[in-house]
Amino acid sequence: MTFSGALTLTDLNDFITPSQACIKPVEEVKRPEDYKEPGAASTAIHVDSAGSYYEVTANGSLNGVSSSRKLETAQISLNDCLACSGCITSAESVLITMQSHEEVFNFLSTNPPRTSPEHRIPVLSISPQSLASLSASLSSSSSASISISQVLRRLRVICKNDLGFTHVYDTTFARHIALLEHAQEFSERRAGTGSAENKLPMLSSACPGWVCYAEKTHAEMLPFISRSKSPQQVMGTLVKHWLGEKWGKKPHQIYHVTVMPCYDKKLEASRQDFYNDLYSTRDVDCVITTGELELMMRARNSDLSASVPDEERHLSPSEPNFDDLPELLSHPGSSSGSYLQSLISEYLTDGSELSTRTIRNADYEEHVITNKSTGNVVFKGAKCYGFRNLQNVVRKVGKEAGVQIGRGAAGRLSSVRTKRNMSSRGGKNAEVEKDKAYDYVEVMACPSGCVNGGGQLKSQITRSQNQDNAEETSEARWGDKEWTKRVEEAYWHNLPTPPPSPSFSPVSAETYDPHVFANEFARRILVDLCKPHNGAESAWRTRMDADAEKMRASLFRTQYRAVESNVVGLQVNW
């Protein structure tokens, strides 16, 4: 099989790009003798053959002997990126060096043996979108299509045997929990039982590109963004806390790597909120992209196209097994996490009907649930992908909620008669009624969502070479769209657990229903981690006692903060 070429910096195409050169200032420790005598300074900076900078005292030093001092190289961490308003999202080169497959190799090669108390258990969790990308890539160079469950089984063998991981999971069960928590948060917001800040519409938070963009340029959107952790960070909680405890390990004794379709997931994992001060460790230690995982396998000469024993074995166990996390749970809806669909299935009842409207293309869809007898809108949600649609959501939500959009825009046009939307809509009450505000929006920064993430494998569709410039461009575009479609197909193809309708209802069925099983599993985890007073009575969608709720919030929710523009004059890009 042929994988795509290695990802290089220029291949990155996360859809919100850094807009400026990095302006992170370097802290300079001034020594007392500096500037003692203005006009007397007499050093120069020299660069040696290795590219290191040296400050050289040519003459005039006290003893008259020339000396040199190596200057420190500036270091920029991902946390600096998050705290800086210089560019909209990540400085790509920083992401590459701080969280990379080389970093993972580096860890694995220096990890002390299992017998050592210093040993950290290497765990790898892979997203279903990454599996779909690998599956599409494998299938394009093979006669038979390779399903994502086959890919997972093969990866498990490779990651354990060739790369040295102890455990390999997929992140769909973490997503199941994220969806439960997300639905719980939505019902809190809808009922007004959350904090005053918790407003509707609720906007999804699983896309770190979107979260980062909102924090830097649309602080007014932050109260609307779901506080529930993304599947990656829920997985971090499960691995470092719940599984760790089962293994008798503290969080810092586990090294957790996730494989994601997106570079910005590296930024997410680096957020201060996901750093454990007590153990000086992160819930996810290192994030690599699908492309980087492919590079790692290539570096170890691993062959993902070779089948492994039992790879087509049916996944559902004969009897529920609560020792290992459920795998490859499917959540119908979108290939970006099905956040909207999970809420729709909650509010869609026999007495109501769902209508779907595509606005322009599949990246912007409105879903409305109406009560069949009264005609009232029960729920109005939208799925909105890509930077362009994201702008419209920001505009629409800002207008509907009556918040001023843009940074510091309030009062900017006070001297002018600013046209109010209300005036032009006066007398059209019927339309206003119909034009109900959104309750929920599933927001993703990439067009086509996560299957088309910037960290995915490149298109395997070969492009015809001998065409003129213009046609070649549209050909390339077509190829990429077509490729995304194939990844999307791989994502849904031959799923081991096709659920007719997802239900978050209590365990009741005698037959194995993966969602029912997952709910029960999630309940046990919640009880284990939050230790509610009423113990086993608790379920994910019930409210527990205050202490347990506090624990739930700390384990499964997070927070956002606006990044203030604090660029000093010398750093201004102009």
Partner 1 sequence: MDSDVLMDHNTEFQLMQVAEFSNHEERVWHLAWNPTRPLLASCSSDKSVNLYHYDTTGKFEQATSISTGHSKTVRAVAWAPSGKTLATASFDSQVGIWEQEEPEEEGGAPGEWECTILEGHENECKCVAYSSSGTLLATCSRDKTVWVWEVQPDSEFECVGVLMEHTQDVKCVAWHPTEEILASASYDDTIRLYVDDPDEDWYAFQVLSGHESTVWSLAFSPCGKYLASASDDLTIRLWRRAAQFKWEPIGMLRGHDRTIFSVSWGLGNGDGENAGWLASTGSDGKINVWEMKAPENGTLDSKLIATLRDAHSVSDVNCVAWNPRPGLGDLLATAGDDCSVRVWRITGVA
Partner 2 sequence: MQDVPVYNANPTVFAPSKPSKSSLLSAHSLWWDEELDVKAESEDEEIKPDEIFDLIRSITDPEHPLTLEQLAVVSSPQVAVSGNFVNVEFTPTVPHCGMSAIIGLSIRVRLLRSLPNRFKVDVRVKPGSHNSENSVNKQLNDKERVAAALENDSLIDVVEKCLSTAGRRGQTP
Name the site residues for partner 2 (rule: CB under 8 A): 25-28, 30, 34-35, 38-45, 55, 74, 566-572, 574
Residue 114 lies near partner 1 (rule: CB under 8 A): no
Residue 421 lies near partner 1 (rule: CB under 8 A): yes
Which of 119, 300, 481, 541 binds partner 1 (CB under 8 A)? It is: 481
Shortest CA distance to 242 belongs to which of 537, 531, 550? 531
Enumerate the H helices of 148-219 as residue ranges: 148-158, 172-191, 208-217
Stretch that binds partner 1, among 176-184, 322-330, 374-382, 463-471 (CB under 8 A): 463-471
Neighbours of 428 (CB within 10 A): 11
Residue 395 lies near partner 1 (rule: CB under 8 A): yes
Dist. CA 189–CA 327, nearest whole Å: 30
Residue 569 binding result from partner 1, partner 2, none, given CB thresholds of 5 to 8 Å by partner type = partner 2
Locate tokens 């298109």: which residue?
459
377-387 in b/e form (b: 16+ CB < 10 A) is bbbbbbbbbbb
Which of 391, 534, 542, 571 binds partner 1 (CB under 8 A)? It is: 391
Residue 403 lies near partner 1 (rule: CB under 8 A): no
**Smallest distance from partner 2 to CB 26, Å:** 5
Dist. CA 503–CA 524, nearest whole Å: 18
Dist. CA 548–CA 297, nearest whole Å: 42
**Smallest distance from partner 1 to CB 562, Å:** 16
Nearer to partner 1, 246 or 412 (CB): 412
Nearer to partner 1, 470 or 536 (CB): 470
- Tokens for 72, please give them: 């420190």
Residue 443 lies near partner 1 (rule: CB under 8 A): no
Nearer to partner 2, 53 or 322 (CB): 53
Stretch that binds partner 1, among 31-39, 309-317, 408-416, 436-444 (CB under 8 A): 408-416
Which of 69, 357, 360, 463 binds partner 1 (CB under 8 A)? It is: 360
Task: Tell me the DSSP string of 230-248.
Answer: PHHHHHHHIIIIIIHHHHT
Nearer to partner 2, 80 or 475 (CB): 80
Residue 405 lies near partner 1 (rule: CB under 8 A): yes
Dist. CA 214–CA 559, nearest whole Å: 13
Dist. CA 436–CA 368, nearest whole Å: 10
**Smallest distance from partner 1 to CB 398, Å:** 9
Residue 477 lies near partner 1 (rule: CB under 8 A): yes
- Tokens for 464, please give them: 């015809």
Locate tokens 């210093």: which residue?
118
Locate tokens 């390339």: which residue?
476
Residue 416 binding result from partner 1, partner 2, none, given CB thresholds of 5 to 8 Å by partner type = partner 1
Nearer to partner 1, 412 or 550 (CB): 412
Residue 356 binding result from partner 1, partner 2, none, given CB thresholds of 5 to 8 Å by partner type = none
| Residues linked to residue 70 through DSSP beta bridges, in sequence order | 54
Which of 414, 466, 501, 508 binds partner 1 (CB under 8 A)? It is: 414
Which residues, including other chains, have CB under 8 Å from residue 68's CB and lie 6 or more apart?
46, 54, 55, 56, 57
Dist. CA 228–CA 11, nearest whole Å: 31
Q: According to the 3-state scheme, what is the secondary structure of 286-299?
A: EEEEHHHHHHHHHH
Locate tokens 């001297």: which residue?
415
**Smallest distance from partner 2 to CB 468, Å:** 31
Residue 421 binding result from partner 1, partner 2, none, given CB thresholds of 5 to 8 Å by partner type = partner 1
CA 154 to chain centre: 24
- Tokens for 62, please give them: 């006290």
Residue 41 binding result from partner 1, partner 2, none, given CB thresholds of 5 to 8 Å by partner type = partner 2
**Smallest distance from partner 2 to CB 38, Å:** 5
Site map 294..333 versus partner 1, x via CB under 8 A: ----------------------------------------
Which of 164, 320, 447, 479 binds partner 1 (CB under 8 A)? It is: 447
Which residues, including other chains, have CB under 8 Å from residue 150's CB and lie 6 or more apart?
135, 307, 311, 312
Residue 567 near residue 85, CB atoms below 8 Å: yes
Residue 406 lies near partner 1 (rule: CB under 8 A): yes
Q: Is the dihedral of CA 264, 266, 270, 276 positive or negative?
A: positive
Which residues of the chain form contacts with partner 1 (CB under 8 A)? 17, 19, 88, 217, 360-361, 386-389, 391-392, 395, 405-406, 409, 412-419, 421, 424-425, 447, 468-471, 473-474, 477, 481
